[in-house]
Structures are given as structure tokens and as C-alpha cells.
Amino acid sequence: MRSTDLPSACSLVAAALGTTGRGLTLPPRGPDRSQVPLLLYGSVLACLMLWAGLMTYRQYLQQLPLRWSSIYHDRNAHYQAALGIACELRQGHLLQALRDLDAASVAWPLLHPLLLGLVLAVTGPLPEAAVLPGVLGWLTAGALAFWLVQRLLRGPAGLLGGLLAAALLLSSPALRVMATDVMLESLGLALTLAVLVAYARWVESPSTRRAAWLGGLLAALFLHKYNYWGLTIVALIAHQIGWQAPSAKRCLSIVLAALPERKWLYRQLTHPLHYLILALLVVSGVIWYLQGVYLGLGPWHFEIHRPRLLIETAYLLFLVRLLGWWFRSGRRAVQRHAGEAWRTLIEWAGLPVLVWLALPFRLHYFVWYAGPGNNPGVLQLSWLQKLQFYAGGIASNYYLHRWLLVGSVGLAVIGLVGLLAQRGGRPWRWAPVLFLFAAASLTLLHPNAQIRFVHTWLPLLWVLSGVGLATLLNLLRHTFQRLGAGLSVGMWLVQALMVGIILGGLGAAVAQPPQVHPWFGRGYGTPSDSLRELYDVYLSQLDGQRPTAVLCNLPEASWRWPFLERFGHKNNLHHNLREIGVFDPVSLQDAQRWLAATGVEVIVYVEIPPTSPLYEPPPHRHDNTAILTALYNQDRFHAVRQIPVRNLGTIYIWQRS
């Protein structure tokens, strides 16, 4: 036998012995050529992401001041929270940084302020660095959209479809402006797609490791923003029930196995903790129904207006009982009936959520965000009006051209038909579709209408568009194969042409600054003036050391982050009248009491008149002009500066006499 025949002989022996080869090790084969197209397309995608990221970030730097043109925009709160944490860390005040993190994560969870705070602690309090998590999340979302499409339809067609999905995501004007903003949407989109990718891998091959990844990402999504987590959970549960029948049956068997035996039921009915929880919930219900109660016991009088603390106490008792059961017998029962992977998934996905909600005020805000109370009343729209609102907003802000909208929707319909026609396709293929339709429906039902609510689910439409393109290419390939083998060259030419179109289109799209409709939000080019011009004027008059109050005629305005950004600390900084327990808007009597009691040495008062392009109507229709009136009618402080700033406003500076 010649030496060149050795590999083939080994192969024959291995085949005869079975798939394992009974310990026989074959010589290593050459590189897997099936991975070459994936590596090629992956390299192209990486170049596209780098180009899109650099160009979009560069355009943000060129227009950075305009991003800060709204005194009430959420970006102020997000930036302010992260700056506070970063500045305390840079000063070595770890305990105060944890306090600031706790305060920043009451309404929104802690992931974004923690991550951005760590970034700014390294880079310094720079607005240029504040958008880095958003940019990274946006680019990561493009890569994940590519993965989903090429995984649904393998081969060159799937790779090209994935490239189209990524290109639509990377070229979207709304996604680009939000990526360069201090907001939660871009990172939320990346985490949402990461959960879908982790779920796909879990469904394909459940394992303890993949369960931990899926559970950890679900917990991270919850700790980033509750809304995104809720939309994802609804879709995944629906997919498990509708398309994963064995898993659904397994979950049902766990529940049935845990149904009460007589002894178990008797223990629950006689446990005193359950009656205490029930009593707290009943009392909370009475307080909510009566809108508050008044109790008088001799010399003691109690007024309870909201049952929030009672409900949180009931939840804490429930959590103690639940965790006790879980670690005592529950986890073993789940592992016995469903396997270690399911037990791992439940622990990683569930325990962080349960513990987080036990922290003060978290349960209240979680319920508020998910319920009908989250309605500022700005837009009172019917279901049909909301449909028109979101359709118009998507067309005006998420696509460069209307024909792209029509084309992507058409391809998405073809993609849906292709998924329906698949036989033996990916078992998770309907999970992204379910997420898209469930999230769109829940967005329409939500009482608060904002166009950026589509941010985390609209890219799933582009994933379907990529699937549609891949389906068309596969049909075209089969047509070429029927016509003759020689025509397969035409298929490669078609694919090369489409790659060129996608590359050229995306390159041209990101070369221009993103443009969105003015009503998309303030700070994206409208108005064409910046609050930073006002900030720079009054900050140049301060030394950052003396006790200072920065106040404004517009109540509940965000004035702390400019001070933090300039001086790197918030020591001795006041931004409201809470020294005397007064909140905005301020009355004349409250302003007079504060001026008589405050210990500040410098007062900065910023007046933004209704004629200013930076003016925004106060949330409660009352402003803080009483503060300026009180300043003119007292003698503890004297005016040292009055600086008009074009047509934007006027800066007043007062010092202690």
C-alpha cells in the first residue's frame, strides 16, 4: 500500500468500526471550505460596522452641542446619574457612588447608569464618551441581526440576507441618532437581540451553559429596562407554548407534580406567614379603594394615602417564603422533573429579578411602568390614531427613503411565506416573528405613545426582510439549476451585484449626518441652539468650591450634570429648595422661606423666557418665577451679574451679602 492511500484506508476502517472509530484518530483534514463564505461575509460586515460606527460618531462630535437642547429630555437624567457615579468613583468615594447608583436605579434599573458610570470613571466626565455604550449597542445589534438571518437560512443566500438586515439597521437615521445619545434604546436593542440569539441556541441544543447564558441575558435585560424584558418574555413564553410542545408539557408536568398533596395543602393553610401576607394585601386593597384612610388611636393619629409600603412588605414576606421553598426542595424538584438545564435557566433568569424587586420602591415603579398609570397624557390617541402615528413615525425616521420602507415590508412578507413553507426548519424560527407581532401589538395598547417605543422591535422586521431576500435568492438558484449547470455563474453574478449595491448604499447613507423629523424629539437638530451656551456662561462665573444653588424659572430642570461635567464633583451643589422640604414648582412664600434659611453662598438663576428657542412648557403648567421675585425683595444676597445670552435667556448671579 502506498503512503498516499493511508488516509482513505483509515477512513474505510473508521466507517467499518462505526462513527466513533473505536479510538482511531484520523489524520487532520484540510480547512472546512463551508466556512469560507461565512468568514468572507463576516469580514465585510465587520468593515461595514467599523465604517458606520466611525462616521456616525464623527458626525455626533461635529454636532455635539445640539444634542443638549432640551431641558426636560430623559438624556439629562441618564447622563446626570452616570456622571454622579463616575465623579464619586474618581474621588475614591465608593460608598457614595453606591448611594448614587441606588438613587439612580429607582425609576430605571441599574445596568445603564452602572455601565456608563464605569466608562466615565475611566475617561473622565466627557460628553464625547457618554455615547460609547449606545454606539457599541447599535453596532452589536447589527451583528446579531446578521446572525439571526444566516442561521435561519444557511448558505450564501442566508449570508446575503443577513447582510441586508444589518445594512438596514446600520443605515436607519433614527437608530443612528439614538446610538449617539445618552439613552437606553440602543443598548436595549442589543440586549433584546442577544436574548433571541441565546434563546435560539438554547432551543437547538439545551444545555446548562446555554441556559445560564439565556437566563443571564434575560436578567440583564430586566435590569436595563423593564419594558424590553416584558416584551421579550411574552414572546418567548408564547413560543414555548405554541411551538415547543415537549417543553410546554414538561413545564406542565412540573406544575402538576407540585400540586398540593393533602399534607402540603394543610401546611400552607396553617402557616402564619401566609395569613400576614393576605392581611397586608387586603388592607392595601381597602386603602387603594378608599384613596387613603385616617386612623385615630387615642393621642395617636395615622394617615395612609398610598399602600405602597404595605405591598412591598407583603412582597418581602412572600419572597422569604418562596426562596426558602426553592433552596429547601424546589430546585431539586425542578431538576428531577425538567433537568439541570431548566433549573439553571430558572435560577439565572428569575432570582435576580425577584431580589431586585425586593429593594425599596422597585416593585412600585415596575408595576407603574407596566400598567396604565404610565400615561403622561401628552397624546390621547385611539388605537387607529396610534397605528397612523407609529406608521408615519417609522416612515419618516427609520428609513432613508420611502421606497426602502416598501421594499423591506415586501421582503418581510416573502420571508414570512418562506418560513411557512419550510419543512424541518429551525425549531426557534417563529420566536423572532412572535416577538415582532407581540411587541407591536403591546406598543399600540400602551397608553403612552412615543415613536422611540418601536426602537427595540422594528429591527426584527428587517430580519424578516433579510429572510425574504434569502428566500428569493434560493428560488433563483433553483431556477438556474433547472435551466442548466452553466447558468450557476449567473447566480454568483447576481449575489456579487447585490453585495455591491448593499455596500454602496450603506456607505453613502452613513457618509451623511442622520436626519429625523423634528417631532422625533428635541436634540437631534431641532432646535438649532444649545443649552450648553447658557451653561458655559454661568459656569465660567463659578469656582466650583463655594456652596452654590443653580435654579431656573422652568421647574424640575436638570442643572446638576453641567456642574459635574465642569468641576468633576457635586459637593455643595443645590438644584432645588429641598433644604426646607419644598419641591417644584415653587410659590413666593416657599422661595422667601428658603432664602431666609439656606446656607448657600452663591445663587445662579437662569431665566428662559417663552420667546427663547430653548423654552419648553413646564410639566405642571406653573413655573418658578417666584424665586426671582423673592430675590429682588430680600437683603441676604446681592446681585453681582446679569448676563443676557442672545435670545436664549438671561443669567442672574447673586452672592451672600
Q: Is 188 helix (H, G, I), strand (E, B) or coil?
A: helix
Number of C-beta neighbours around residue 296 at 10 A: 9
The single-letter code of the amino acid at 527 is: P
**Tell me, what's the pLDDT at 8?**
39
**Tell me, what's the pLDDT at 29?**
42
- Whole-prediction pTM value? 0.89
| Confidence category of residue 15, pLDDT binned at 50, 70, 90 | very low
**Tell me, what's the pLDDT at 253?**
63
Q: Is 293 helix (H, G, I), strand (E, B) or coil?
A: strand
**Tell me, what's the pLDDT at 636?**
92
Q: Which of 277-291, 572-586, 643-657 has the highest mean pLDDT?
A: 643-657
**Tell me, what's the pLDDT at 286?**
85
Please, are residues 27 and 46 in contact by the beta-carbon 8 Å criterion? no
What size, in residues, is the chain? Answer: 657
Q: Give the Cα separation of 430 and 87 in Å (integer).
A: 46
- For 604-638, what is each residue's pLDDT tens digit? 999 999 999 999 998 878 899 999 999 999 989 99
- For 312-357, what is each residue's pLDDT tens digit? 999 999 999 999 888 988 888 888 888 899 999 999 999 999 999 9
pLDDT exceeds cutoff 90 at 154: no
Helix (H) or strand (E) holding 109: none
Helix (H) or strand (E) holding 345: helix 340-357
The single-letter code of the amino acid at 60 is: Y
**Of 262 and 292, the one with more pLDDT:** 292
- For 163-210, what is each residue's pLDDT tens digit? 999 999 999 999 999 999 999 999 999 999 999 999 999 999 889 999
**Tell me, what's the pLDDT at 22?**
38
**Tell me, what's the pLDDT at 256?**
59
Query: What are the distances in angstroms from CA 516 to CA 176, 197, 528?
Result: 10, 30, 14
Cell 433549573 belongs to 343
**Tell me, what's the pLDDT at 333?**
83
**Of 155 and 406, the one with more pLDDT:** 406
- For 454-478, what is each residue's pLDDT tens digit? 999 999 999 999 999 999 998 888 8
Average pLDDT, the chain: 86
pLDDT exceeds cutoff 50 at 148: yes
**Tell me, what's the pLDDT at 581?**
85
Q: Which residues contact 221 (CB under 8 A, 6 or more apart)?
A: 188, 191, 192, 195, 228, 229, 232
Query: What are the distances in angstroms from CA 123 to CA 218, 510, 537, 565?
Result: 29, 26, 25, 12
Q: Give the Cα separation of 426 and 419 in Å (integer).
A: 9
**Tell me, what's the pLDDT at 526?**
75
pLDDT exceeds cutoff 80 at 100: yes
Q: Which of 386-395, 424-433, 442-451 has the highest mean pLDDT?
A: 386-395
Q: Is 92 left (phi over 0), alpha (psi -120 to 50) or beta?
A: left
Number of C-beta neighbours around residue 450 at 10 A: 17
Helix (H) or strand (E) holding 302: strand 300-304
